[in-house]
Amino acid sequence: MERAMEQLNRLTRSLRRARTVELPDDNETAVYTLMPMVMADQHRSVSELLSNSKFDVNYAFGRVKRSLLHIAANCGSVECLVLLLKKGANPNYQDISGCTPLHLAARNGQKKCMSKLLEYSADVNICNNEGLTAIHWLAVNGRTELLHDLVQHVSDVDVEDAMGQTALHVACQNGHKTTVQCLLDSGADINRPNVSGATPLYFACSISSNYDAQMKSLLRIVRIFCHVFRIGPSSPSNGIDMGYNGNKTPRSQVFKPLELLWHSLDEWLVLIATELMKNKKDSTDITSILLKQKGQDQDGTSIPPFEPPGPGSYENLSTGTGESKPDALGGKQEASADCQDVISMTANRLSAVIQAFYMCCSCQMPPGMTSPRFIEFVCKHDEVLKCFVNRNPKIIFDHFHFLLECPELMSRFMHIIKAQPFKDRCEWFYEHLHSGQPDSDMVHRPVNENDILLVHRDSIFRSSCEVVSKANCAKLKQGIAVRFHGEEGMGQGVVREWFDILSNEIVNPDYALFTQSADGTTFQPNSNSSVNPDHLNYFRFAGQILGLALNHRQLVNIYFTRSFYKHILGIPVNYQDVASIDPEYAKNLQWILDNDISDLGLELTFSVETDVFGAMEEVPLKPGGGSILVTQNNKAEYVQLVTELRMTRAIQPQINAFLQGFHMFIPPSLIQLFDEYELELLLSGMPEIDVSDWIKNTEYTSGYEREDPVIQWFWEVVEDITPEERVLLLQFVTGSSRVPHGGFANIMGGSGLQNFTIAAVPYTPNLLPTSSTCINMLKLPEYPSKEILKDRLLVALHCGSYGYTMA
């Protein structure tokens, strides 16, 4: 009876987990059960199966005679690798070709696996049958970052393989500049000959690539070519250009010699796309491949062992085109890795040619138009170009400048661009914003008196508006010179003072341009600004001032609501943005979305009543909205439309006027590189946060007290993180990046003053902190350690969503 119950329990567990729960007694059968789990790094399942088994973790299987530790190192399954090492797996066991797990980890660039193998005494000096050591594998593939870690464990950096080649030989053969430098720094001999008498220096001189120089030369030549094409004379009657030697060349044929290059570029991209698709298809069913290979092995079919290429084939290893024969278990993955290596080596070069192709196409088009041929080219090779960017995001900033000039193409890559570091995007932004302008550090032209903005302190807003509207925009982009009437001072200090005073004047209630939001720290365009007859001209001026400030990297002392930053960026607002001007109404909209309104009898229609100069008028949210009832099915549309009415339609003229001025200095294509939080940082800088004041004015609820370990860990983390991350935390919980005047004691909530509050939440693994911005509450799980708390908090700050939520 007990045996039957045990079998039933075992069956139940197996069905629930969709796998066996016990290993077969036979090592040969058991290893093929474990292998797919090891390759997928399913360490918990592997641990459970090994715990109740007598399986030999050093069992070598297949024609290659590798252990599971080889498989884990080859695939980068670090958790399973550590588990096997703890179970007694031999880190120095050599397969039939003499390769150890460390060799395979080095060959495939598995940094974490290498580190763990070294911890468990893996021998870095072991050679395989061809004399190759781990540093040979790192050198041949140019894995410099791993070589730095490994070379300190190597007894002889000039260890030779069977052909007398050192790691420096193969690094020079493959043109890996940084790897060569690392080996030289570690004492490698650049004049050591191999069996043929060739030294690393010989390979460096004869084989090492100069692709960077070639790319720069190509782009420089194409730029000059395009410039000459644009300024070259043409006959208005027949469209023929006259050369200096008197020969006649049809203008349409000028770029014809480059067609062969563009054709080769297209062929390369098609070839890479084919390889990507092939490898994607090969990786879809690895389990069936493994079972098939196991069957072949059992039937006696010959499976070739792993045979590293000879010294003469090192180049092929680097490019992924050689005859390196992967073992039967890892072949598909190695093929994919080879394809990725091809991408790594060719992406930058091909991207430079793409940039040259764009320049040639665009110079033949009218200003402001993108060549249809180039758009078709990008659309055709969309997947490959995205693969290039994913492998090396700097390609966007180095070569894909065409994205800024074509919204259709930009939309394809925007998610990748916005995933790049804020600093890199800022550099790209200013590089293109100032392209074509003289370098202010190199050109010191005297200030023309006619270019000085002469303003009056006692009427700084109006006088500044008048002089800026009359000034030459191109000259203002290059530099600003300001002088206050009756004062002699000029220079950057005066310019900074001018921007600081103007930023305060823009939100001066006397001009009725902006109103203060509910949080008391941010401003929103005033829907009733028309009480000032010149309000739209003033909004245009406000846009010019913020555009000029951004252009010249001058910070302004003004903060806007999140929704207004969205308007500047062209990002649609949502109902969460309503909280900045009407928190209670935002709660009501949230309630409608969160609850079933079918039987409540609200009798809402797609219209709202609005006070227009004292008279109540019904405003339809869409045509015929007054006769369309809001139902459970269409309530989301109602919330979005009423949000657009409150946040956009009511102030559309003001927004348009502001953007007209702003875009005189900041192109829309450039500003869209940022989100609304980043735009605030660009315009107003990083606010300072007093952590001691924060702690002093924080309340605790739902079980937390100030002395609790979790709370102490939290504040220690807040003090440890960067100023930028503290701002993210403040935004995450309160919806604002700033502390109001008077400090944290004056933070506003949905119903008035509301202290920053931390509420306890029961801990479950991987649970992230959440927030309720309407009441400034951080819902912090009861994490078991400071490390877990910090990790989960930073994930929430960097990857979580911002916005208004219900408590």
Q: What are the catalytic residues?
A: 774
Tell me the H-state helices in 87-176.
101-107, 111-119, 134-140, 144-150, 167-173
Give me the half-sphere count of Cα atoms (radius 13 Å) on the Cβ side of residue 316.
12
> What does the H/E/C string look like for 512-568?
CCEEECCCCCCEEECCCHHHCCCHHHHHHHHHHHHHHHHHCCCCCCCCECHHHHHHH
For residue 796 the two structure tokens come to 């929430």
* Angle at alpha carbon of residue 160, lines to 159 and 163, rounded to 5°: 175
Tally: H helices and E strands in the chain: 36, 14
Q: Would you call 779 helix, strand, or coil by DSSP?
A: strand
Torsions phi, psi for 709 (to 5 deg)? -55, -40
Q: Would you call 506 helix, strand, or coil by DSSP?
A: helix
For residue 346 the two structure tokens come to 């060719």
For residue 580 the two structure tokens come to 């900045």
Give me the half-sphere count of Cα atoms (radius 13 Å) on the Cβ side of residue 486.
3
How far, in Å, are 77, 89, 226, 228, 514 from residue 231 at the CA level? Answer: 59, 72, 9, 5, 48
Give helix 68-75 / helix 111-119 axis angle, nearest 10°.
140
Distance CA 598, CA 620 (A): 22
Q: Would you call 203 helix, strand, or coil by DSSP?
A: helix
User: Which is nearest to 49 in space by CA: 16, 4, 83, 73?
Assistant: 83
Cβ(100)–Cβ(81) under 8 Å?
Answer: no
Cβ(106)–Cβ(146) under 8 Å?
Answer: yes
User: Which is nearest to 787 in space by CA: 681, 714, 691, 694?
Assistant: 714
Distance CA 410, CA 191 (A): 50
The residue assigned the tokens 């002392």 is: 557
Other Cβ atoms within 10 Å of 288 Cβ, number: 9
Distance CA 555, CA 3 (A): 77
Q: How many residues appear in the chain?
A: 807
Distance CA 784, CA 790 (A): 11
